[in-house]
A and B are shown apart, each in its own frame.
Chain A
Amino acid sequence: MKTSLDSMQAMEACLLGQASSEQRLLFEANMLLDPMLRKDVHWQRQTYRIIREYGRERLRSELEQVHQTLFTASQHRKFRNKILAFFRT
């Protein structure tokens, strides 16, 4: 299926809540009439989820690196000791 840039932009605006109410209404009407479009919307939503998961994973690994730095590097010993002291009492 070849999709134009315009129609992709319109669909995205509707799915991400950036469309006007008229745009949205038109899109919902099209969805009712077009089962192919409904399927496509489903896959697009799943794709957004996957992208968010990918973004979360990257952020998580950056945070993990920061954690490792704080808990291994000698210049952060003071911080580390302060944290570990909470868990000793």
Chain B
Amino acid sequence: MTMNTDHRPDLLSLYQRMFPAVARHVAKWGGTVEEAKDIFHDALIVYYEKATLGTMVHCRNNEAYVFGVARHLWIKRYAQNQRHASLDQLMAGYEVTDIGLDWQSDGAEEEMTATTGKQIMQVLRAAGQKCMELLTAFYYEKLDMQTLADRFGFSGTRSATVQKFKCLQKVKKVVKEKSLQYEDFVG
């Protein structure tokens, strides 16, 4: 299965194939259906991000991979009671190649708070949706420029590239202004 295409993998069949093992595991350890669902969704997100990065080389069995991540998340989130930790915090150190390696900072700078992040997301959902769709398609789904141009109706890769950077600048401006505003308000 490849996920690095214009279309999401068939989530329904993936769900039917992979969820039972995770649900059985969580049930065995006294969890609820809801908890199994949350763990499973997080595990699929980790898997999806890994697949789009093309770093799935050492794992031939996708089901085993998703199950392994789910089991890890179950231990972290519920057995060790880190219910409110972020997915990145829970996955830190899980593998040599951490998820989202190319997104990481050098660690020297401050992370924005979860609350600030949520507020910025709200602003962008309301006012910057078109740009966010474009940026997500490129940076999260990792579509190539041609596919991106086709999906969003640009005349070619050049104009898609220009538009992508315009959007990035625009969103960066919002992120900057809102961060400074909210953090000022809090602190």
> Judging by beta carbons under 8 Å apart, are A17 and B101 in contact?
yes
CB neighbours of B121 from chain A (8 A) = 50, 53-54, 57
> Judging by beta carbons under 8 Å apart, are A66 and B11 in contact?
yes
> Judging by beta carbons under 8 Å apart, are A55 and B15 in contact?
no
> Judging by beta carbons under 8 Å apart, are B20 and A50 in contact?
no
1/0 contact string of B1-41 vs chain A (CB within 8 Å): 00000001001100110011001100110001100010001
Task: Give bound CA distance, A80 to B162, whole Å.
Answer: 47
Task: Give bound CA distance, A43 to B24, whole Å.
Answer: 43
Task: Give bound CA distance, A63 to B37, whole Å.
Answer: 9
1/0 contact string of B130-172 vs chain A (CB within 8 Å): 0010011001110000000000000000000110010011011
Closest Cβ of chain B: how far from A8's Cβ, in Å?
Answer: 5
Interface of chain B residues 92 through 141 with chain A (CB within 8 A): 100-103, 105, 109, 112, 117, 120-121, 124, 132, 135-136, 139-141
Interface residue tally of chain B, by bracket? Answer: 35 or more
Interface of chain A residues 33 through 52 with chain B (CB within 8 A): 42-52
Q: Taking the complex as formed, is B67 at the interface, i.e. its CB lies under 8 A from any CB of chain A?
A: no
> Judging by beta carbons under 8 Å apart, are B139 and A83 in contact?
no
> Judging by beta carbons under 8 Å apart, are B175 and A79 in contact?
no
Listed in ascending order, the chain A residues whose CB lies under 8 Å from chain B are 3, 5, 8-9, 16-18, 42-60, 62-64, 66-67, 69-70, 79, 82-84, 86-87, 89
Given contacts A55-B140, A56-B140, 9 further A-B contacts (CB under 8 A): A44-B168, A45-B105, A51-B139, A51-B171, A53-B121, A56-B45, A66-B15, A67-B41, A86-B20
